[in-house]
């Protein structure tokens, strides 16, 4: 009897062992592991109906050479349809998309569409040559000194790390080099203004927000820009104009954070602060 059971038990154990996937399904756990192990993350963003997503999963990722390289990453696989915020944050427009991130969620790069084995190997190896995302982006910038996108990503990294002088410099470079990329130019201008609102003379921030609103009158960030314009006017001592603008846009604010900032500023103006 025992002789009959043991082979069955071994088969079940072996099946479980070899079916275990190296890909996790939690982005939060991925970040935690990446920070702990000081690794980058690769995120396979797929959809159930996407044919090429299956090619990646069943043929390209299991390739021995690809698999060896990806062992140096924390691997996460996510159904993009279930993570709309992730799609929005990393500007994912289709499937499959392969994201490369660091443990803090900073965007390194991505491959959209039909990624080949060579695409994955080349990008992965270049990332692994660098100790961190700043080093990687600086190396990429040396490869393409006029890339506004890399300047922008460096600006975001420095902004998140509260290195405001470097962030301001990178966003300024982005604006100057993105003449044919209006959406990137606008995003860089918006983020530059956020830096100025936090760091530097308030009068400079006021001037910059006013300029932004004049340059981008149909921007989908118009209400948020007006909010920050009003807040910086208040901080610069122009309370009357600040009150007028904040009162005007208050009914149009949608997030709790924006509403709270607006209400607090209006309350301080009323109290003479």
pLDDT in tens, 112-141: 988 999 999 999 999 999 888 999 999 999
Phi, psi of 67 (to 5 degrees): -60, -40
pLDDT in tens, 88-97: 888 898 999 9
User: How far, in Å, CA of 246 to CA of 227, rounded?
Assistant: 6
Structural domain includes residue 45: yes
Q: Which of 168, 199, 230 is the last residue of a domain?
A: 199
With bands split at pLDDT 50, 70 and 90, how would you rate the model's confidence at 179?
confident
Residues 35 and 104 in one domain: yes
218-238: average pLDDT: 95
Query: What's 41's domain CATH number?
Result: 3.40.30.10
Cβ neighbours of residue 38 closer than 8 Å, sequence gap 6 or more? 103
pLDDT at 21: 67
Structural domain includes residue 9: no
Residues 192 and 210 in one domain: no
Q: Which of 130, 153, 171 is the last residue of a domain?
A: 130
Q: What is the domain count for the chain?
A: 3
pLDDT at 272: 86
Find out whether the peptide bond into 75 is cis, omega within 30 degrees of 0.
no
pLDDT in tens, 44-65: 999 999 999 999 999 999 999 9
Q: Which of 109, 130, 151 is the last residue of a domain?
A: 130
pTM confidence score:
0.76
Q: What is the span of the domain harbouring residue 266?
A: 201-272
Query: What's 193's domain CATH number?
Result: 1.25.40
Structural domain includes residue 121: yes
User: How far, in Å, CA of 24 to CA of 173, rounded?
Assistant: 38
- Confidence check: pLDDT of 1 > 50: no
Structural domain includes residue 15: no
């Amino acid at each position: 009897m025992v002789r009959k059971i043991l082979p069955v038990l071994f088969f079940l154990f072996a099946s479980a062992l070899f079916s275990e996937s190296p890909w996790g399904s939690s982005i939060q756990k991925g970040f935690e592991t990446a920070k702990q192990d000081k690794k980058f993350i690769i995120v396979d963003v797929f959809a159930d109906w996407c044919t090429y997503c299956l090619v990646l999963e069943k043929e390209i990722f299991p390739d021995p050479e690809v698999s060896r390289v990806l062992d140096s990453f924390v691997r996460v696989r996510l159904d993009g349809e279930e993570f709309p915020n992730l799609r929005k944050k990393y500007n994912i427009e289709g499937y499959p998309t392969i994201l490369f991130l660091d443990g803090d969620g900073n965007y390194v790069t991505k491959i959209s569409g039909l990624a080949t084995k060579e695409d994955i190997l080349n990008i992965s190896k270049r990332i692994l040559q660098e100790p961190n995302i700043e080093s990687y982006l600086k190396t990429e910038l040396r490869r393409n000194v006029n890339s506004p996108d890399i300047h922008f990503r460096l600006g975001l990294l420095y902004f998140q790390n509260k290195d405001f002088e470097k962030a301001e410099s990178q966003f300024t470079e982005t604006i100057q080099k993105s003449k044919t990329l209006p959406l990137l130019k606008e995003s860089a201008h918006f983020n530059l203004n956020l830096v100025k609102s936090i760091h530097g003379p308030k009068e400079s921030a006021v001037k910059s927000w006013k300029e932004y609103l004049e340059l981008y009158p149909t921007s989908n960030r118009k209400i948020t820009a007006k909010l920050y314009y009003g807040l910086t006017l208040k901080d610069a001592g122009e309370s009357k104009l600040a009150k007028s603008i904040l009162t005007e846009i208050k009914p149009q604010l949608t997030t709790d954070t924006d509403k709270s900032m607006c209400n607090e500023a209006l309350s301080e103006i009323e109290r003479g602060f």
